[in-house]
Structure 1
Amino acid sequence: MRFLRWFVRFPIVWLTIVVLIVVLALGAAGYERTTKWIAVVYVSLIIAWTLVGMIRDVMRGHVGLDVLAVVAMIATLAVGEYVASLVIVLMLSGGEALEDYASRRAKRELTSLLDRSPQVAHVLVHPQSDSDEVQDADAADVRVGDVLLVRPAEIVPVDGTLLSDDGSFDESSLTGESLPVSRSAGDEVLSGSVNGSRAVRIRALRRSADSQYQQIVELVKQAQEDRAPTVRLADRFAIPFTAVSLVIAGAAWAISGDPTRFAEVLVLATPCPLLIAAPVAFLGGLSRAAKAGIIVKGGAVIEQLARVRSAAFDKTGTLTEGRPDLVAVVPAAGFAEDELLTLAASAEQYSSHVLADGIRRAAAARGIHLLPAVEAHEVATNGVTAQIGGRTVVVGKPAYVASLAPDTVRRGIREGEAAAYVAVDGRFAGTLVLADDPRPESAAVVAWLRDTGVERIAMLTGDAQATADAVARGVGITDVHAELLPPEKVHLAAQMRPRPVMMVGDGVNDAPVLAAADIGIAMGAKGSTAAGEAADAVVLKDSLAGIADAVSIGRHTLRVAYTAIWIGISLSIALMLIATTGVIPAVAGALIQEGVDLATILYALRALTGPATGLVIPTAKPHEREPVAEAA
């Protein structure tokens, strides 16, 4: 069946082989006139078909390299080298087959992600009972709140909350973590993870289209569809290579006086190395990135990553762990600790900020029951306001809270800490202090970027200046811009030099600057969908080391693509110069050029592997924080 599919996919290849065999057989039997007409008619049809494609490309503004192949076919027919003309057709059509094979090999990791996309969900008919009676449904039809049964070794179809007491899940396709992870009742289970040896029940948290794995699938589809840089790379070499080839062939004809020499030179100038090697290299880079837990949205991003000269980082959840823990509750006069935490955590139910998660977790750890809000709204990067139990509760930055509660008292915080201020009914209620340590790999990644040619590294954050300065010192960044609103981040990223600029972030508030940067990278393991959609690449692993991997893969891929192109061009020109002497017959030249194509494609597949970054990540160690005063 695979053989038949190959025939269906590449009909020109086997048809050319049949015509070539017939021509050789009839020629051996003495039917030279018949062989001539068969070859002329068949190759002329191929030339006409190719010319139609060339005209379409020119109308789209793309000057292709097929002109060399067309000229070579016409020249071989004109000088009576009919077998050589058929070999050229076979070489070109066979090049498509080679590209298909190499592309499939290069896209293996990307394709495997698509192949594993969850398709079926087992929806429990009686979720309130112990019955495991299920009704199978398409994963896309699962509704939020449905209770699903996930059998052993099955793929979790949608993001959900674990209802069973515990479970073990393989999340390697999502995060790259090779060991199974344990989950307890109430924990979130991500779609695309593989269940362990026990059947479990989950309650759907999101629809399939909004779940983690489907977001990854959409990113992969974008990565597969974008091939713009490979076209640009070919275009950069197309006109010069065509001109040089025609000059060498024309000179050979003029010097020898034999038009056959023109054809013998041109059969060695076919453009497969440019048309195939570069795309294969970029697909290999995309696949290697996917294997490393980085989804890159197309070859254009690979090329930009290879050239990055400036980098900007968000702080919370990017340079830091992103799971700040509550270390102190400091109520103002007239408020108790538990009262302050209850009101703040209840309001923070309606916030997507990472500090809100830390406050909610602290409340849950103390057994505090959160109160519902009649109305709530969040002002991005500033804070959240909620109507709770007839009271107006505001939680956020000191300046924002002070604008609503003039008696707000700023307090000193220590290095690495952040403070959330709380106001109730226009009166300052107290402060919640949280600590979010830098990731253990952050300093190593910043140093690696600086050592490998990234000239400027900055921090762009909405957090307080003192907190930002403390984290920046710990990771080796001196260019710090704090207390920024999203539009200010976008403006600063646009002003950064030298270009291209890479921006790394993880939250909803980072989406605008990720979209505006030359290369936006989202930390997607715990990041928002908005950030992932706006970014050019998403790091699935919860580690900043993926940034170094992405840049390293981009550089290696571009280097391989250019080297493959130059190998093809150099060998072709060398062989053309040899052919000017007449020692390489046209048929032999066409076959030799096929070997050049194969060599460049095999080299392009080197993009699937590459050198390690050499990044050394120290073991995380607790450190003492020295007191600092919080800036306004």
Structure 2
Amino acid sequence: MSDSPSASSSSSLWKSLETVIALFTILMIVVYLCLRYGWDVPETTQNIPLWSVLLLGGTPLVWGLLVKMVHREFGSDLLAGISIVVSVILGEYLAGSLVVLMLSGGEALEAYAVRSASSVLQALSRRMPSIAHRKTDSRIDDIALDQIQINDMIVIFPHETCPIDGTVLEGHGVMDESYLTGEPYMMSKTPGSQVLSGAINGEAALIVRAEKRAIDSRYAKIMEVMQASEQHRPRMRRLADRLGAWYTPLAVLIGIVAWVLTGDPVRFLAVMVVATPCPLLIAIPVAIIGSISLAARRAIIVRDPTSLETADTCRTIIFDKTGTLTYGEPQLTEQIYAPNMNADEVLSLVGSIERFSKHPLSQAILDAMQEARAVVHEATEISEPPGQGLKGTVNGHSVEITSRKKLLHQYPDLESQLPEQVGGLECVILIDNQYAGLYRFRDTPRTDGLSFINHLSPKHHFGRTMLVSGDRESEVRYLAEQVGIQEVYFSQSPEQKLEIVNQETAQANTIFVGDGINDAPALVAATVGVAFGQNSDVTTEAADVIVMDSSLQKIDEFLHISRRMRRIALQSAIGGMALSMLGMLLAAAGYLPPVAGAISQEVIDVLAVLNALRVALPPKALIDFKPGEPG
């Protein structure tokens, strides 16, 4: 949800006006104090600076509050408007001027707090280059970042900032990725290594193949977070407005009772001044923005600030299978060969043509081939028609790799030679049109899956953990057993996933974790949608939170950031309001006059905001389970 240009312009103008009013008010209060205590001038002359504050500063502020009342927005800042008007009526000009200072200074205080909370992101924005060096044949041309296309060869010179996410093609060196990963190490970079936008290159030049456009890079995503957090009002601020819905009438009631019982209207003014918590309730959005900054440093992109408020209240967590609880990288787990076939020879022939395939299972075969140190042969006549398998000629042998279904459609007589079909993925191998063997694959469960799942209930109070997948029953149940999940749904379409999430969310707040396009509806329907990686633009647009590094530890970190943010925000808001209530009772009893009440309230507000700023400081640890242990 974005603001219109006119709304953004009006908001910026109003913030600028409030800053001017705050500075003008400070100056006039200083002039008043000088006239009162430094020079012997009549009282009427002494009050001129305060009258100018109330006229030039108080009038536009009160008018703005009246506009809010017309739109039925009764926030706690309404108390400030009442205080200004009553102070003028009762002749308590200094108290009224201090309220004007509190009200107008709130925006300046918030802007400073936001800048402090997001200082890491601002440092990132200053470091990004404006041009890149594209290598074409023997030429190197400087181009704008938005001209970079996928597969372009980009040269990164020593000490430059990497402008894109990509893979090293040439060069050996190191990069400083600490601004993005939080790890204070120089990361080694050789051909095949992944590089991150925003990382600082070391002493050696590198040639990198762009795998994403600059606008889609990790760096760009983090910059979007910074801009959104600074330009848009975090939703949790509505909690402050809801608190104000009961706080405001209670404060007015206390003031009226004090006035009626004592007959002194100044008591009413004193209560209103102490009750004014405008900067105080700024602490909540400050806590949110600080938490967004902390999460971004941990490679967690918070697209919807509401997710920070609600994640700690979720009691059901639902996982997709592939790429979330598994690595999304199938591994060759079983090799079955025909009686007359040599295992090493078949693996060598198969691997020699799999080098030219882009099928997801190809890398698993190549990894097994490398581990076995199998011989690589020259391959010719490679063909891989869509959906028809892979064919080629290796060492004078025709080699074909296909599926069981396609094989039996072409050679139905071979069914008796094939082993029984079991869970997992498989491919069948033909050499010289004869059945040679069958390879079975499984998508490996994450090593930290079991310990992570087992700690969700005792540490984060999840009542239910569910696995919902579109895969076959055997695959889903196999994974569920590995990671310790009892509630399992398999062969689910996107529509069925959505229905399950809707049903669960109706009973309790939910978190859904997925990484595929078919997860997008479920991500939107859940209370908090968490997307792993950036495999799909659709998925990341649907998610509230994006975990840039596909890791279960990052989910744990996000849950702790959410809990910490909620705790500190409520500490700041409720703690500050409690102190204000105490001040109101003292003011009602006559122990706190209006001027002293205004100063006391200002101190309370500053303390609350400073407490909220703590969320941007990284704690010693953000995970509370040990990967690899049972939990």
Report if TM-score (shorter chain) is over 0.5.
yes
The structure-2 alpha-carbon separation of the partners of 1:347 and 1:163, relative to structure 1 and needing over 3 Å to count, comes to closer
Preserved contact between residue 172 and residue 204 of structure 2 (Cα < 8 Å): no
Preserved contact between residue 164 and residue 212 of structure 2 (Cα < 8 Å): yes
Preserved contact between residue 300 and residue 546 of structure 2 (Cα < 8 Å): yes
Task: Quote how far apart the aligned CAs of 1:304 are.
Answer: 1.7
2:498 to 481, 490, 493: 490
The structure-2 alpha-carbon separation of the partners of 1:184 and 1:120, relative to structure 1 and needing over 3 Å to count, comes to same
2:111 to 100, 103, 108: 100
Partner of 1:23: 32
The structure-2 alpha-carbon separation of the partners of 1:369 and 1:603, relative to structure 1 and needing over 3 Å to count, comes to farther
Partner of 1:598: 606
1:515 and 2:521 aligned = no
Task: Quote how far apart the aligned CAs of 1:232 are.
Answer: 1.5
1:79 and 2:86 aligned = no
Task: Quote how far apart the aligned CAs of 1:106 are.
Answer: 1.8
Partner of 1:380: none
The structure-2 alpha-carbon separation of the partners of 1:14 and 1:273, relative to structure 1 and needing over 3 Å to count, comes to closer
1:548 and 2:556 aligned = yes
1:140 and 2:146 aligned = yes
> 1:541-575 deviations in whole A, cap 9, x for unaligned?
34211111111211121121112111111111111
Preserved contact between residue 385 and residue 394 of structure 1 (Cα < 8 Å): no
SS at match of 1:162: strand
> 1:55-88 deviations in whole A, cap 9, x for unaligned?
5545766433221001011111111111111111
Preserved contact between residue 288 and residue 608 of structure 1 (Cα < 8 Å): yes
2:189 to 183, 205, 212: 183
Task: Quote how far apart the aligned CAs of 1:228 are.
Answer: 3.7
Partner of 1:418: 424
Task: Quote how far apart the aligned CAs of 1:213 are.
Answer: 2.5
Aligned 1:19-418 pairs, distance under 5 A: 19-27=28-36, 28-54=39-65, 57=68, 62-124=73-135, 127-129=136-138, 134-272=140-278, 274-328=280-334, 348-349=358-359, 358=364, 376=386, 418=424
1:608 to 616, 622, 627: 616
Once residues 370 and 59 of structure 1 are traced to their aligned partners in structure 2, the CA distance between those partners, rounded to angstroms, is 79
1:449 to 439, 448, 456: 456
Preserved contact between residue 234 and residue 288 of structure 2 (Cα < 8 Å): no
Partner of 2:569: 561
Preserved contact between residue 347 and residue 394 of structure 1 (Cα < 8 Å): no
Once residues 46 and 197 of structure 2 are traced to their aligned partners in structure 1, the CA distance between those partners, rounded to angstroms, is 61
SS at match of 2:590: coil
Once residues 228 and 147 of structure 1 are traced to their aligned partners in structure 2, the CA distance between those partners, rounded to angstroms, is 40
The structure-2 alpha-carbon separation of the partners of 1:466 and 1:226, relative to structure 1 and needing over 3 Å to count, comes to farther
> 1:149-202 deviations in whole A, cap 9, x for unaligned?
212222211233322143323333444444333333244433223222211122
Once residues 87 and 17 of structure 1 are traced to their aligned partners in structure 2, the CA distance between those partners, rounded to angstroms, is 9
> 1:451-489 deviations in whole A, cap 9, x for unaligned?
131111011223332222222122111111223333322
Once residues 267 and 150 of structure 1 are traced to their aligned partners in structure 2, the CA distance between those partners, rounded to angstroms, is 59
Q: What is the letter of the counterpart of residue 272 of structure 1?
A: C
> 1:411-459 deviations in whole A, cap 9, x for unaligned?
6678xx73145699xx999854223332222222212211131111011
The structure-2 alpha-carbon separation of the partners of 1:404 and 1:47, relative to structure 1 and needing over 3 Å to count, comes to farther
Task: Quote how far apart the aligned CAs of 1:329 are.
Answer: 5.4
Partner of 1:628: none
Q: What is the letter of the counterpart of residue 103 of structure 2?
A: L
SS at match of 2:531: strand
Partner of 2:445: 438
Preserved contact between residue 43 and residue 86 of structure 1 (Cα < 8 Å): yes
> 1:185-243 deviations in whole A, cap 9, x for unaligned?
24443322322221112233332123333234334444544534332211211121111
Partner of 2:9: none
Preserved contact between residue 294 and residue 540 of structure 1 (Cα < 8 Å): yes
Please say which of residues 478-487 and 30-39 is displaced more in the overlay.
30-39
Q: What is the letter of the counterpart of residue 97 of structure 1?
A: A
Partner of 1:379: none
Please say which of residues 563-572 and 141-150 is displaced more in the overlay.
141-150
Once residues 462 and 176 of structure 1 are traced to their aligned partners in structure 2, the CA distance between those partners, rounded to angstroms, is 35
Once residues 489 and 331 of structure 1 are traced to their aligned partners in structure 2, the CA distance between those partners, rounded to angstroms, is 39
Partner of 2:595: 587
The structure-2 alpha-carbon separation of the partners of 1:357 and 1:485, relative to structure 1 and needing over 3 Å to count, comes to farther
Preserved contact between residue 228 and residue 300 of structure 1 (Cα < 8 Å): yes
How well do the aligned residues superpose, as a CA RMSD in angstroms? Answer: 3.9
Q: What is the letter of the counterpart of residue 439 of structure 1?
A: R
Preserved contact between residue 401 and residue 421 of structure 1 (Cα < 8 Å): no
Once residues 58 and 498 of structure 2 are traced to their aligned partners in structure 1, the CA distance between those partners, rounded to angstroms, is 51
> 1:509-557 deviations in whole A, cap 9, x for unaligned?
4333223322111222x74444333221122334211111111211121
Once residues 183 and 418 of structure 1 are traced to their aligned partners in structure 2, the CA distance between those partners, rounded to angstroms, is 35
Preserved contact between residue 313 and residue 509 of structure 2 (Cα < 8 Å): yes
Preserved contact between residue 407 and residue 428 of structure 1 (Cα < 8 Å): no
Please say which of residues 573-582 and 605-614 is displaced more in the overlay.
605-614
What is the identity percentage for the equivalent residue pairs of Structure 1 and Structure 2?
33
Partner of 2:5: none
SS at match of 2:84: helix
Q: What is the letter of the counterpart of residue 174 of structure 2?
A: S
Q: Report how many residues are paired.
A: 592
Q: What is the letter of the counterpart of residue 587 of structure 1?
A: V
Once residues 536 and 337 of structure 1 are traced to their aligned partners in structure 2, the CA distance between those partners, rounded to angstroms, is 45
Task: Quote how far apart the aligned CAs of 1:117 are.
Answer: 3.6
1:470 to 460, 473, 478: 478
Preserved contact between residue 280 and residue 604 of structure 2 (Cα < 8 Å): no
Once residues 112 and 211 of structure 1 are traced to their aligned partners in structure 2, the CA distance between those partners, rounded to angstroms, is 17
Once residues 355 and 62 of structure 1 are traced to their aligned partners in structure 2, the CA distance between those partners, rounded to angstroms, is 59
Task: Quote how far apart the aligned CAs of 1:93 are.
Answer: 2.5
Please say which of residues 245-254 and 102-111 is displaced more in the overlay.
102-111
Task: Quote how far apart the aligned CAs of 1:247 are.
Answer: 0.8
Preserved contact between residue 345 and residue 370 of structure 1 (Cα < 8 Å): no
Q: What is the letter of the counterpart of residue 180 of structure 1?
A: M
Preserved contact between residue 177 and residue 541 of structure 1 (Cα < 8 Å): no
1:538 and 2:549 aligned = no
Task: Quote how far apart the aligned CAs of 1:359 are.
Answer: 5.6
Once residues 358 and 224 of structure 1 are traced to their aligned partners in structure 2, the CA distance between those partners, rounded to angstroms, is 45
Q: Which 5+ residue runs of structure 2 have no aligned equivalent?
A: 1-14, 393-399
Once residues 40 and 546 of structure 2 are traced to their aligned partners in structure 1, the CA distance between those partners, rounded to angstroms, is 63
SS at match of 1:206: coil
The structure-2 alpha-carbon separation of the partners of 1:47 and 1:361, relative to structure 1 and needing over 3 Å to count, comes to farther
Preserved contact between residue 143 and residue 206 of structure 1 (Cα < 8 Å): yes
The structure-2 alpha-carbon separation of the partners of 1:65 and 1:360, relative to structure 1 and needing over 3 Å to count, comes to farther
The structure-2 alpha-carbon separation of the partners of 1:203 and 1:361, relative to structure 1 and needing over 3 Å to count, comes to same
Preserved contact between residue 310 and residue 457 of structure 1 (Cα < 8 Å): yes
